[in-house]
Amino acid sequence: MSEPDTAETFTGSFTQQEPLPEAAVRAALAVLGHGRLHRYNTAPGEIAETALLEEDFAAFTGAKYCLAVASGGYALGCALRALGIGPGDAVLTNAFTLAPVPGAIAALGATPVFVETTEGLTIDMEDLAAKAAGAKALLLSHMRGHICDMDRLMAICAAAGLPVIEDCAHTMGAAWAGTPSGRHGAMGCYSTQTYKHLNSGEGGLIISDDADLMAKAILISGSYMLYPRHRAAPPPAAFERHRLTTPNVSGRMDNLRAAILRPQLAGLPARAARWNALYRVIEAGLAGTPGLRLVERPEAEAFVASSFQFLLPGWPAGQVRAFLARAALRGVELKWFGAPEPQGFTSRHDSWRYAPAQQLPQTDRILAGLIDMRLPLTFSDADAALIARILRQEAAAVLGSGEDRAAIPQAD
Ligand SMILES: *Cc1c(COP(=O)(O)O)cnc(C)c1O
């Protein structure tokens, strides 16, 4: 493809989210107006916004129980603690994930053991089966919203007696074969941080059907002896079993954040549809681009595309850098998971040096060509089409001028 004389540029911001809906602003003002921000600070007869959010989210996912907490990372740590993970325990997790995931394991004195990554950007089942013996749990990260074959994964983990905690930071509202993401494992953890599917600045949610795990999680989050004020919570007997033996590691959510999340949750299915429309425009625009491979999305996977990934398989680092620089000049901000030093949100297993160094050649090969792009809902379909045109032209420009051209394998 030849370069156009006057190159189009994109002027949108990859980090600008939409404003919060009017209903969220009104709900926030109501909480600010009465001042009862702490979740256990309720007027007689009042139900805290936080307890209501938990009920809403339990209903949204179909879970029996739900707990709102301070962040997605806190949710992961809280779930691991509830499961009894402690010092010296080996916990399996995806080699391709975000820093708070191995961080939550290491913060408990446990050891993150990384599992290889497939071309579909999900956990490698053979490597998982090989590493299952001796591990205490799997912290499964649905990184960037890519969901593995959950039926196969749960069968492998059941056979190995391995409990599963799901990191659903990028899969709130997504599903595998009709079952909501977060409902396969013993507990599902979500983030409501600004760049995820709901925006409360910071925040997290945990769901489970297991009364003991959820009673412990609520006690850990800092419920003092006020847990009867929870609604999407297990019966009192479950708390009786754990109330005096469970440490308080405070990480509650407050009523202000819960208040702004509830109207957003109601609007999530509509937002998911808009994200996926943007995704499909970019996917169609990039299809067939020489040297560039799209990530296949299985039919059973109902995803929420708050970001877009593609692969530049076999590209030398210099050409990837040239591509990123050329795209940036035209306003398209990309992240590269193959960079040797962590940048922004993209770090990789070899920069988490608190964990023992591990050989992950398959993951390293995939990450070397993995490009990541945010898709904020402030983008229009026309924006998405323009972004795809720019990427297509710049990939062609780099490959066309590259001295290592012969080294670039054809993407299928
Ligand atoms: C954002 C994120 C988290 C943690 O969420 P925070 O709310 O930022 O603590 C966990 N896992 C993944 C994959 C994430 O992207």
Task: Check whether residue 147 and residue 119 sit in a common domain.
Answer: yes
pLDDT at position 341, please? 77
How far apart (Å, rounded) are the C-alpha atoms in residues 171 and 143? 8
Counting from 1 in the atom list of ligand 1, the atom nearest the Cα of 76 is: 10
How far apart (Å, rounded) are the C-alpha atoms in residues 53 and 38? 14
Angle at which helices 49-61 and 255-266 cross, to 10°: 30
Q: What percent of the chain has pLDDT over 90?
A: 91
Task: Check whether residue 207 and residue 336 sit in a common domain.
Answer: no
- Taking only the tens place, the pLDDT of each residue in 101-147 is 999 999 999 999 999 999 999 999 999 999 999 999 999 999 999 99
The CA 73 to ligand 1 mean position distance, Å, reads: 6
Exposure of 409 by Cβ count < 10 A (0-12 exposed, 13-18 middle, 19+ buried)?
Answer: exposed
The CA 393 to ligand 1 mean position distance, Å, reads: 33
Name the token pair of 6: 């006057």
Is position 363 within any domain? yes
Closest residue (by CA) to atom 2 of ligand 1?
169
Q: How much of the chain is helix, strand and coil, in % rounded to 5?
A: 40, 15, 45
Q: What CATH number has the domain bearing residue 146?
A: 3.40.640.10
CA torsion, ordered 384, 325, 304, 192, to nearest 10 deg: -120
Task: Check whether residue 115 and residue 224 sit in a common domain.
Answer: yes
Counting from 1 in the atom list of ligand 1, the atom nearest the Cα of 202 is: 7
Task: Check whether residue 174 and residue 249 sit in a common domain.
Answer: yes
How far apart (Å, rounded) are the C-alpha atoms in residues 79 and 340? 31
The CA 86 to ligand 1 mean position distance, Å, reads: 21
Task: Check whether residue 260 and residue 287 sit in a common domain.
Answer: no
380 has pLDDT over 60: yes
Counting from 1 in the atom list of ligand 1, the atom nearest the Cα of 144 is: 13
Q: What is the mean pLDDT of the chain?
A: 94
- Taking only the tens place, the pLDDT of each residue in 159-218 is 999 999 999 999 999 999 999 999 999 999 999 999 999 999 999 999 999 999 999 999
Which one-letter DSSP state was computed for residue 351? G
Counting from 1 in the atom list of ligand 1, the atom nearest the Cα of 75 is: 9
Is position 14 within any domain? no
Name the token pair of 212: 């003991």
Which one-letter DSSP state was computed for residue 372? E
Q: Which domain holds residue 342?
A: 268-407
Q: Which of 146, 193, 306 to mutate to test the pocket of ligand 1 (most atoms within 8 A of CB)?
A: 193
Is position 260 within any domain? yes
Is position 2 within any domain? no
Angle at which helices 317-329 and 381-401 cross, to 10°: 140
Task: Check whether residue 185 and residue 331 sit in a common domain.
Answer: no
pLDDT at position 346, please? 75
The CA 69 to ligand 1 mean position distance, Å, reads: 13
How far apart (Å, rounded) are the C-alpha atoms in residues 404 and 270? 45
The SS3 call for residue 290 is: coil
CA 346, 351, 356: angle at the middle one, nearest 5? 140
pLDDT at position 369, please? 96
The CA 203 to ligand 1 mean position distance, Å, reads: 10
Domain boundary among 266, 292, 309: 266
The CA 106 to ligand 1 mean position distance, Å, reads: 15
Task: Check whether residue 114 and residue 175 sit in a common domain.
Answer: yes
Is position 4 within any domain? no
Q: Which of 123, 167, 198, 306 to mutate to test the pocket of ligand 1 (most atoms within 8 A of CB)?
A: 167
Is position 354 within any domain? yes
Residues having CB within 6 Å of any atom of ligand 1: 71-73, 97-98, 100-101, 141, 143, 167, 169-170, 191, 193, 204
Counting from 1 in the atom list of ligand 1, the atom nearest the Cα of 195 is: 1
Give how many domains the chain has, as a whole number.
Answer: 2
Closest residue (by CA) to atom 1 of ligand 1?
169
pLDDT at position 215, please? 98
Task: Check whether residue 258 and residue 275 sit in a common domain.
Answer: no
Handedness of CA 282, 287, 292, 294 (dihedral sign): positive
The CA 110 to ligand 1 mean position distance, Å, reads: 19
Task: Check whether residue 332 and residue 195 sit in a common domain.
Answer: no
Closest to 157 measured CA to CA, from 118, 197, 184: 184
Closest residue (by CA) to atom 5 of ligand 1?
72
Q: What is the mean predicted confidence (pLDDT) over 7-35?
A: 96
How far apart (Å, rounded) are the C-alpha atoms in residues 3 and 39? 57
Domain boundary among 231, 266, 301: 266
pLDDT at position 405, please? 45
The CA 138 to ligand 1 mean position distance, Å, reads: 17
Task: Check whether residue 81 and residue 221 sit in a common domain.
Answer: yes
Task: Check whether residue 37 and residue 165 sit in a common domain.
Answer: yes
The SS3 call for residue 370 is: strand
Task: Check whether residue 70 and residue 198 sit in a common domain.
Answer: yes
Angle at which helices 255-266 and 268-286 cross, to 10°: 60
How far apart (Å, rounded) are the C-alpha atoms in residues 12 and 26? 28
401 has pLDDT over 60: yes
Q: Which of 101, 187, 306 to mutate to test the pocket of ligand 1 (most atoms within 8 A of CB)?
A: 101
- Taking only the tens place, the pLDDT of each residue in 297-331 is 999 999 999 999 999 999 999 999 999 999 999 99
pLDDT at position 407, please? 47
- Taking only the tens place, the pLDDT of each residue in 52-101 is 999 999 999 999 999 999 999 999 999 999 999 999 999 999 999 999 99
Residue 188 forms beta bridges with which residues? 166, 207
Is position 3 within any domain? no
177 touches 33 (CB < 8 A): no
Which one-letter DSSP state was computed for residue 48? -
Instruction: Give the burial string for 301-330 (b: 16+ CB within 10 Å, else e).
Output: bbbbbbbbbbbbbbbeeebbebbbebbeeb
Is position 374 within any domain? yes
Closest to 90 measured CA to CA, from 133, 141, 150: 133
The CA 191 to ligand 1 mean position distance, Å, reads: 6
Domain boundary among 222, 240, 266: 266
Q: For the whole model, what pTM was predicted?
A: 0.95
Q: What CATH number has the domain bearing residue 350?
A: 3.90.1150.10
The CA 30 to ligand 1 mean position distance, Å, reads: 29
Closest residue (by CA) to atom 11 of ligand 1?
169
Phi and psi at 207, nearest 5°, equal -125, 155
Closest to 290 measured CA to CA, from 322, 309, 312, 319: 312
